Chain A
Amino acid sequence: MAIKQEKQDREKRTCLYERHIAEGAFMAPFANFCMPIQYKNIQLEHLAVRHKCGLFDVSHMGEVTVKGKDAERYVQHIFTNDVADAPIGKIYYGMMCRENGGTVDDLLVYKMGEDDFFLVINAANIDKDWAWMQQQAKGFEIDLQDRSDFYGQIALQGPEAEQRMEEILGLPCREMTFYTCKTIDGVIVSRTGYTGEDGFEVYASHEYIQRCWDKLIDAGVQACGLGCRDTLRFEVGLPLYGDELSEEISPIMAGLGMFVKLDKPEFVGKEALAKQKAEGPTKKLVGIELDDKAIPRHGYTVLKDGQPIGEVTTGYHGISVDKSVCMALVDAQYAALGTEVEIQIRKKVFPGKVVKKQFYHKSYKN
């Protein structure tokens, strides 16, 4: 059996690193950071989020602020979703794309004020995104800042998150609707997450985030690692950049067309994405359910009648759904629900069928 033990000294550490070590979390490199993958076990942490609540260190995420006269016009230029005339406090999910439609990153855009936006990007892409954003900023009167090193971030997720936010952190949030944010004494609180459950994310100074972490842990909230963050997001069909989205996988291929507003006057990649949508993408992201318990993993080949038709992007033996399931990018003609396919798992081939890629229902609070 191969056990991977990679060197951890070159990775960056979040402001909660010492706490993870003290708790005995299993640490591993993720997106240039040394991050907790699990505390006790992934199943237990996963189920805590589904049924009670769980606490995540997501300080590795990147934050970029866009301010100034042209802030909205600039965001409209780099972002596939439409923030025109958005109310203050509204949050949008969408992508930044290249001219050819390939995805630079998926991100959240917070409208903090008139001419004031807060962008949350993937840790693995901070350097690439920052370079792209600067390159795209020519001709816009904006103040663009990478604030990733300033902000710590926690995510409190699950049906009990609201109560915990108010009672333990003293952050009033019950009136907030999903995908909105507010600022309380410089602390940014949003009703967002990456688990398919109701929940909140808090962005603040390292000291503030450390205090929040300690209070929640002392109150008995389950600390959760990135392992269950992945199983949770996967079960509800949320994409992960690098798996379901990439420079080669456009939002249209990934089935995220609803976050690409082709009726906007202009944004980078619009022509390519409009063409893909009109002609139909050559590849599509699907869900696949296997009859057997063997587990399809990232990179495994999907076959139809023995011929390769695509690749698994993420796969697990589901935790809330007791089945072997995966998302896969396949040739578009095999993407219809019910299509019978096979997946090569090591030396054997296992039959499965195309299903919806939401294996578990989201329970957001609207």
Chain B
Amino acid sequence: MAKVIEGLFYSESHEYVKVEGNVGYIGISDYAQHALGNVVYVDMPDVDDEIEAGEEFGAVESVKAASDLFAPVSGKVIEVNEALDDQPELINQDPYENWIIKVELSDKSQLDELMDAKAYAAFCEK
């Protein structure tokens, strides 16, 4: 069973946002890392890039293929998880601890469009 954490916001394309004040930590869910298999590369945006909800902002690559990452919310990138450059497998080890980017949220009302843990768990069951 894929792990789903309470208190996070989830997208249908399997990204999550963890919100702390006006900052969002964006990563991929446990379900997504399972489906991908071993992550061998994470393509991240640059700090100060603006990301747009629903738009592609990077990619996670397994041995076999690249999967685009879609922004669950809009905002400005304030940090990227540089540890993933050398150890992309951290995403497999703990996808919730190892977020991909940290953004300054530009519109918190976008969070209402996302699923809570319960709804996401049900979504993955389908």
Question: Is A43's beta carbon under 8 Å from chain B?
Answer: yes
Q: Is the CB of A293 within 8 A of B63?
A: no
Q: Map CB proximity to B onto A94-124 as digits: 1 under 8 Å, 0 otherwise.
A: 0000000000000000000000000000000
A240 to chain B, nearest CB (A): 14
Interface residues on A, range: 20 to 34
Q: Residues of A contacting B51 with CB < 8 Å?
A: none
Additional A-B contact list (17), CB under 8 Å, known A1-B36, A317-B40: A1-B15, A1-B28, A1-B68, A2-B67, A3-B36, A3-B67, A38-B37, A41-B38, A43-B38, A227-B64, A230-B64, A293-B41, A293-B85, A295-B61, A295-B66, A317-B41, A346-B56
Bound complex: CA A38 to CA B35 (Å): 12
CA distance A3 to B37 in the complex (A): 12
Please, how many angstroms separate the alpha-carbon atoms of A293 and B41 in the complex?
Answer: 7
Q: Is the CB of A346 within 8 A of B37?
A: no
Instruction: Verify if B90 is at the interface (C-beta below 8 Å from A).
Output: no
Shortest CB distance A230–B (Å):
8
**Contacting residues of chain A (1-53) with chain B, CB-CB under 8 angstroms:** 1-3, 26, 37-38, 41-43
With contacts A293-B85, A295-B66 taken as known, whether A1 is within 8 angstroms of B37 at the C-beta atoms is no
Q: How far is the CB of B16 from chain A (nearest CB, A)?
A: 11
Interface size, chain B (Cβ < 8 Å): 27
Cβ of A1 and Cβ of B43 under 8 Å apart? Answer: no
A-B contact pairs, 20 of them (CB 8 A): A1-B67, A1-B68, A2-B70, A3-B35, A3-B36, A3-B67, A38-B37, A41-B37, A42-B62, A42-B64, A43-B38, A293-B41, A293-B85, A294-B41, A294-B43, A295-B66, A317-B40, A317-B41, A324-B41, A346-B59
Pairs A-B, 6 closest by C-beta atoms: A42-B63, A1-B14, A317-B40, A1-B67, A3-B35, A1-B32
Task: Indicate whether A42 sits within 8 Å of B68 (C-beta atoms), given known contacts A3-B32, A294-B43.
Answer: no
A231 in complex: contacting residue of B15, B37, B63, B65, CB < 8 Å? B63
The residue among B15, B40, B64, B68 with the most chain A CB atoms within 10 A of its own CB is: B64
Secondary structure call for the A interface: mixed
Which chain A residues border B67 with CB–CB below 8 Å? 1-3
Is A316 positioned at the interface, with any CB of B under 8 Å from its CB?
yes
Return the chain A residue nearest B62 by Cβ: A42
Shortest B23–chain A CB gap in Å is: 21
Number of A-B contacts (CB under 8 A): 59
Interface residues of B in 33-69 (CB under 8 A from A): 35-38, 40-41, 43, 56, 58-69
Chain A residues within an 8 Å CB radius of B58: 346
CA distance A131 to B77 in the complex (A): 56
Contact of A42 among B38, B41, B43, B59 (CB under 8 A): B38
Given contacts A294-B43, A317-B40, contact A2 B68 (CB under 8 A): yes
A1–B67 Cα distance when bound, in Å, is 6
A217 at interface by CB-CB < 8 Å = no
Q: A42-B37, A345-B43 are in contact. Are A1 and B60 (CB under 8 A)?
A: yes
Does B13 make an interface contact (CB < 8 A)?
yes
Q: Which residues of B contact A297 (CB under 8 A)?
A: 65-66
CA distance A41 to B68 in the complex (A): 21
Q: Does any Cβ of B come within 8 Å of A319's Cβ? A: yes
A346 and B62 CA atoms in complex are apart in Å by 16
CA–CA, A294 and B68, complex, Å: 13
Q: Please, which residue of chain B has its CB at the minimum distance from the CB of A293? A: B41
